[in-house]
Chain A
Amino acid sequence: MNTDLLIGVLKRAVATGATAADGYLIEESAFGATVRLGEVETVTHSRDQRLSLRVFAGRASAGASTSDLSRESLERVVDEATSLAKVTAEDPFAGLPDPEELITGVPDLDLADASPALSPEEKIELARRCEAAALESDPRITNSEGAECHDRRARYLYATSHGFARDYATTSFGISVAPVATRNGEMQRDYWYSNARKRSRVEDPATVGRTAATRAVRRLGARKVRTVAVPVVFDPETAASLVRSIAGAASGPSLYRRASFLLDRLGTKIASPAVTIVDDALIPAGLGSRPFDGEGLSTGRTVLAREGVLESYLLDTYSARKLGMQSTHHAARDGSGVTVSTSNLMLLPGRATPSELIGSIKRGLYVTELIGFGVNNVTGDYSRGAAGLWIEDGELTYPVEEVTVAGNLLEMFQAIDAVGDDLVLRDRTAAPTLMIGRMVVAGS
């Protein structure tokens, strides 16, 4: 790891006029293979490194990043960032966290796979098995967008001009497939996947393939329904996207810009008592786990909402200072500086099984896919394209498509009547099946 290189860059920044600086260096290598209809389609290899830097000139700051780590280029990047910092305005809230708050030891979160890497041929074979299982599982699966197997190895280093430097390594491994089902000229595609830090935790490729096929086939014969206000059940995948919207509205930058429907709502009821949302960065081998945040601060478990009451925002040092609060250690680095991101974000499970939730509904929609960007982060107004299955007398019946589901996120979370028991951490954000008492489904 280029620890000396990053520290050298930070030293140069201070030597050329910056009052403080911090930087992040990511080194990664990745491989991906796609197989379509049994044939290899694309194989990609990559190796990248990227250094991002934040420099302060008193209370003014600027950011810079580069993938060119040659000495000449780094010197230029530092100089440009330092001169940019001199033209930006003073900001009393800008600055590094207090050095005393930085972590002293990096907890081992078991984020890197120690098992031997597979060869490209073995990874291609996994993608092939995944797609073959999808194609063989049902005669109506007639085509495929392909299956993919990918893995990635990365190392993250954070350092400050005060001399702090810590790093950690991660790996990830995943397979996915998108089969196409056909009947009477109608085509439906769906998708399934399994990702994990370690290969041994990734689901069997054939299981992933069969799940994807089942999802595609059950969409055949989909139709529009009449416009109606009914209870709506979100499956775990679509429910997770609702939780993501809550986290977006609870993040520091949205709040200090007054662009959030959760502004001034700390300590108030924002959801039904069935809802508890937690962000936990320390789950061993978790896909979103990180031993420290993008400013070198220790990470942990944050309860966003407890039994419906908003308990915490998600803050980095800057947004916390602006809001007169403490950082919740959710800083993440992007190219231009520091932003806020979640780690492993979950809505905790309830007691009901998904079929009990569906069984409790006389007439409603079970949503399995959402498309589009119809979420207003300022008002919470929500309107997205949806596909799924119609619920009639407590049973899933025919597939539904070309409808929208609409409401307001605050009202929707208040109207979560029941939470499923089926939480699985398949991704960085996860939720169990959720039932919302009433939403408008627009169709014909």
Chain B
Amino acid sequence: MTELARTRPESFFADRFNVTGGLLERVLGSNLLGRADDADIYLEYRVNEELQLEEGTVKKASRHVSQGAGVRALSGTRTGYAHTDDISLQNLEEAARQARAIADRAGVSGAVAVPSRGRPHDLYALAEPPLVTDLAKKLDLLRKVDGAARAADPRVKQVIASLTSEEVVTLVATASGWTVGDVRPLMRLNVTAIAEAGGKREIGAYGGGGRVAFDFFLEDGRWRRFALEAARQAVLKLGAVNAPAGTMTVVLGPGWPGILLHEAVGHGLEGDFNRKGTSAFAGRMGQKVASELVTVIDDGTIPNRRGSLNVDDEGTPTGRTVLIEKGVLVGYMQDRLNARLMGMAPTGNGRRESYAYPPMPRMTNTFMLGGEDEPEQIIKSVKRGLYAVTFGGGQVDITSGKFVFSASEAYLIEDGRVTAPVKGATLIGNGPDALTRVARVGRDLKLDEGVGTCGKEGQSVPVGVGLPTIRIDELTVGGTAV
């Protein structure tokens, strides 16, 4: 990664591949625009470094470079997409020819693309970008993490810690003449601890990061907190009892449990599924889909967050989109294609995993606004239920609305008190009505530590979630204790 790449993406691609703005315009003009409603070229250069510690030493280190260009032509509901990992005029023109073929197949909608506009944000300029930091400092941090996790409890027998540093340079040129670049840093520190005692073994995992510099992990002893959390979880689970099975009141802790929103409503409010009418939320704009205590927002503009972007992957500046306001469905997340077809404005949610994929509507940072209750009061209000504070992954069937998310740290609530830790269990619900049963919302909104990765149609992108402590009445808990 060069200084030029970090400061001026346009000049970087011109300098490195001879791909100038004029050339991009020429490719878009000559080959694509003809009968297409919209077209764009996406250039990307990515460097990724992974360091992994296990058994007390860093034995794995790797560095990856990927680069390429994707050319897209849009016509009505049709998308022609071609990509190449060899960025040159000849390959761009060939990609354009392949992408254009689809636009030539007639059936043009007549709808015109809304040109991208507005200023991109500047949400993650860093004094020291992730790949600049001295390797020795990174290796030292991993060793300290290992030491802290092992010192936390003698039952911790194995620690795996990894630090990923990435920088991505992008450039989007659209047929409407808008060209915009972005430079995206991303770091993540992960700690996994395995504890053993009395013939039992358990795993705890914790981590975080964002579009931040290395020093982020040193602030307020963050690295130590991650290490201790992983160790604490692993040890705690050694003594966990079987999780209950059946429908009960569930209290979700603040932060990462916001994955509930991502699965229960987030995917269902992405523009593509609603345009096609295949989302359980299709046609429900303006209707009540949650309790009036619930306001859900997708915001790609929060500085330094893992899910934030200055512009999305089709050049639209990101924004703050209210999805559910006091229980009423008010907004969808859109890319340019679906916004055009639905007669709506793009919201800056057009994202892609890399140049190898066309963009589609995706979440950025999705969270629920805080309410008025004290978290302790919320727990006190429950006679018998589950208090879940840490989760693994989740998934949703967008059409039926059924979603799951798996608790990795949870406790029983008995007579208003948090009692025994329980084994991991999957929680399952129905998106369009789960949030109607939100009975209490705490004042403690917290965003997650920066660990989320969302998968959709084979594409992974970094995202964030956030939640205050909430109480949901009647959610099904998939334990084994009947």
Question: B61 within 8 Å of A by Cβ?
Answer: yes
Whether, in the assembled complex, B185 has its beta carbon less than 8 Å from a beta carbon of chain A, the answer is no
Q: How far is the CB of A187 from chain B (nearest CB, A)?
A: 5
Tell me the minimal C-beta distance from A381 to chain B in angstroms: 6
Contact A224 B358, beta carbon cutoff 8 Å: no
Q: Are B400 and A371 in contact (CB under 8 A)?
A: no
Measured CA separation A408–B424 after assembly (Å) = 11
Interface string of B449-482 (1 = CB under 8 A from A): 0000000000000000000000000001111111
Q: When the two chains form their complex, are residues A379 and B246 in contact, meaning their CB atoms are under 8 A apart?
A: no
At the interface, yes or no: A344 with Cβ under 8 Å from chain B? no
Whether A442 contacts B95 by the Cβ 8 Å rule is no
Q: With a CB–CB cut-off of 8 A, which chain B residues contact A44? A: 81-83, 358
Which stretch (B29-37, B98-106, B293-301) binds chain A?
B98-106
Is A62 part of the binding interface, using a Cβ–Cβ cutoff of 8 Å?
A: yes
Contact A188 B276, beta carbon cutoff 8 Å? no
Q: State whether A46 touches B83 (Cβ < 8 A).
A: yes
Interface string of B48-62 (1 = CB under 8 A from A): 001000100111111
Out of B64, B77, B280, B482, name the residue touching A440 (CB < 8 Å): B482
**Is A136 positioned at the interface, with any CB of B under 8 Å from its CB?**
no
Query: Whole-angstrom distance from the CB of A390 to the nearest CB of chain B?
Result: 16
> Which of A49, A60, A80, A442 is packed against the most chain B CB atoms within 10 Å?
A442
Q: Is A61 an interface residue (CB 8 A)?
A: yes
The answer to whether A91 touches B476, judged by C-beta atoms less than 8 angstroms apart, is no
Q: Is A227 an interface residue (CB 8 A)?
A: yes
User: Of A46, A49, A81, which one neighbours B82 at CB under 8 angstroms?
Assistant: A46
> By the criterion CB–CB under 8 Å, are B201 and A336 in contact?
no
Contact B276 A145 (CB under 8 A): yes
CA distance A66 to B399 in the complex (A): 39
B115 at the interface (CB under 8 A from A): no
- The answer to whether B430 and A402 have CB atoms under 8 Å apart is yes
Q: Is A325 an interface residue (CB 8 A)?
A: no
| Across-interface contacts of A227 in B (CB, < 8 A) | 245-247, 482
Q: How many residues of A contact B (CB 8 A)?
A: 81
Residue A376 CB within 8 A of the other chain: yes
Residues of A near B101 (CB, < 8 A) are: 43, 120
- When C-beta atoms are compared, the residue in chain B nearest to A260 turns out to be B201
Whether a CB of chain B sits under 8 angstroms from the CB of A172 is no
Which residues of A lie under 8 Å from residue B85 when comparing CB positions?
A: 47-50, 67-68
Q: Is the CB of A43 within 8 A of B246?
A: no
Contact between B402 and A371 (Cβ–Cβ < 8 Å)?
Answer: yes
Distance in Å: Cβ of B73 to nearest Cβ of chain A: 10
Take A373-B395, A383-B406, A404-B404 as given contacts and tell me if A68 and B79 are in contact as well, using a CB distance cutoff of 8 Å.
no
Known contacts being A40-B102, A259-B203, A442-B479, is A336 close to B246, with CB within 8 Å?
A: no
Chain B residues, Cβ within 8 Å of A91: 57, 59
Find out whether the CB atom of A257 lies under 8 angstroms from the CB atom of B402: no
The smallest C-beta distance from A41 to any residue of chain B, in angstroms, reads 6
Question: Is A374 within 8 A of B404, CB to CB?
Answer: yes
B84 within 8 A of A: yes
Q: Which residues of B contact A81 (CB under 8 A)?
A: 62-63
Between A77, A373, A377, the greatest number of chain B beta carbons within 10 A of the residue's beta carbon is seen for A373
Query: How far is A402 from B264 in the complex, measured between Cα atoms in Å?
Result: 13
A82-90, A290-298, A309-317, A355-363: which lies at the interface: A82-90
A378 touches B245 (CB 8 A): no
B53 to chain A: closest residue by CB: A89
Q: Is A364 an interface residue (CB 8 A)?
A: no
A65 in contact with B62 given A41-B79, A87-B139, A442-B245 (CB within 8 Å): yes
- The answer to whether A374 and B67 touch across the interface, beta carbons within 8 angstroms, is no
- What's the nearest-Cβ distance from chain B to residue A37, in Å? 9
Interface string of A85-119 (1 = CB under 8 A from B): 10111010010000000000000000000000000
Nearest CB in chain A: distance from B329 CB, A: 16
Interface string of B72-90 (1 = CB under 8 A from A): 0000111111111110000
Say yes or no: A39-B59 contact (C-beta < 8 A), given A189-B399, A371-B395.
Answer: no
Q: B221 in the interface, Cβ–Cβ < 8 Å? A: no
Closest CB of chain A to B177's CB: distance in Å?
25
A163 sits at the interface (CB 8 A): no
Instruction: Say yes or no for A385: interface residue by CB 8 A criterion.
Output: yes
In the bound complex, what is the Cα–Cα distance between A362 and B451 (angstroms)?
Answer: 45
Residue from A49, A401, A404 within 8 A of B478 (CB atoms): A404
Contact partner, B58, options A77, A89, A228, Cβ 8 Å = A89
**Which residues of chain B in 203-236 are interfacial with respect to chain A, using CB atoms and an 8 Å cutoff?**
203
The answer to whether B480 and A188 touch across the interface, beta carbons within 8 angstroms, is no
- In the complex, chain B residues 101-127 whose Cβ is within 8 Å of any chain A Cβ: 101-102, 105, 107
Contact B64 A335 (CB under 8 A): yes
Asked if residues A404 and B202 are in contact (CB atoms below 8 Å), the reply is no
Query: Which B residue's beta carbon lies closest to that of A93?
Result: B59
* B130 located at the interface, meaning its Cβ lies under 8 Å from any Cβ of chain A in the complex: no
A222 contacts B by Cβ under 8 Å? yes
From B83, B158, B392, contact of A258 by CB (8 A): B158
Q: Which B residues are CB-close (under 8 A) to A330?
A: none
Give B268-292 interface residues, CB cut-off 8 Å to A: 276-278, 280
Could you say which of A42, A62, A73, A189 contacts B65, with CB atoms under 8 Å apart? A73
Chain B residue contacts of A402, Cβ below 8 A: 402, 428-430, 476
Residues of chain A within 8 A (CB-CB) of B392 are: 373-374
Q: Please give, as numbers and ranges, the residues of chain B lying within 8 Å of A66 by CB-CB distance.
A: 64-66
Among A43, A180, A372, find the residue whose CB has the most chain B CB atoms closer than 10 A: A372
Q: Is B323 an interface residue (CB 8 A)?
A: no
Quick check: B399 and A85 within 8 Å, CB to CB?
no
Q: Which residues of B contact A444 (CB under 8 A)?
A: 246-247, 476
Contact of A372 among B66, B95, B102, B393 (CB under 8 A): B393
Contacts of B260 in A (CB 8 A): none
CA distance A219 to B402 in the complex (A): 13
Q: In the complex the two chains form, is A440's CB within 8 Å of B245's CB? A: yes
What is the CA–CA distance of A228 and B245 in the complex, to the nearest angstrom?
9
Contact assessment for A403 and B428 in the assembled complex, using a CB-CB cutoff below 8 Å: yes
With A40-B78, A372-B394, A444-B476 as contacts: A84 and B62 at CB distance below 8 Å: yes
Instruction: Contact check, A143 vs B478: say whether CB atoms are below 8 A apart.
Output: no
Write the A378-417 contact mask toward B (1 if CB under 8 angstroms, else 0). 1101011101000000000000011111111000000000
> B194 touches which one: A120, A259, A407 (CB < 8 A)?
A259
A263 to B196, CA, bound (A): 13
Give complex CA distance A371, B263 in Å. Answer: 12
- Within the complex, the shortest CB–CB distance from A272 to chain B, in Å, comes to 19
Please name the residue on chain A nearest to B263 by beta carbon: A372
Q: Which residue of B lies closest to A219 (CB)?
A: B400
Q: How far is the CA of A413 from the CA of B404 in the complex (A)?
A: 24
A336–B136 CB distance below 8 A: no
- A60 to B62 alpha-carbon distance, docked (Å): 12
Q: Contact: B478 with A405, CB < 8 Å?
A: yes
For the complex, give the distance between the alpha carbons of A401 and B403 in Å: 11
B243 at the interface (CB under 8 A from A): yes
Residues of the A chain whose Cβ atoms lie less than 8 Å from the Cβ of B246: 227, 442-444
A381→B423 contact, CB < 8 A: yes
Q: Please, which residues of chain A bring their CB within 8 A of the CB of B98?
A: 43, 45
B105, B400, B482: the one contacting A189 at CB < 8 Å is B400
Q: Quick check: B59 and A385 within 8 Å, CB to CB?
A: no
Q: Which 6 pairs show the lowest CB-CB distances between chains A and B? A: A404-B478, A63-B62, A89-B57, A372-B404, A385-B404, A189-B399
Ordered by A's residue number, 30 sampled pairs between the chains whose C-beta atoms are within 8 Å are A42-B80, A43-B102, A44-B82, A47-B86, A63-B62, A64-B62, A65-B62, A145-B276, A145-B278, A187-B280, A189-B398, A257-B54, A335-B62, A336-B62, A371-B402, A371-B404, A372-B406, A374-B406, A374-B424, A378-B201, A383-B480, A384-B478, A401-B402, A403-B478, A404-B425, A404-B426, A406-B478, A440-B479, A442-B478, A444-B246
Residues of A whose CB lies within 8 Å of any CB of B are 36, 39-50, 60-69, 73, 77, 80-81, 84-85, 87-89, 91, 94, 120, 143-145, 180, 187-189, 219, 222, 224, 227-229, 257-259, 263, 335-337, 369, 371-374, 376-379, 381, 383-385, 387, 401-408, 440, 442-444
In the complex, given contacts A336-B50, A378-B201, what are 8 additional A-B residue pairs having Cβ atoms less than 8 angstroms apart?
A46-B82, A81-B62, A189-B399, A259-B194, A374-B426, A403-B428, A442-B479, A443-B246
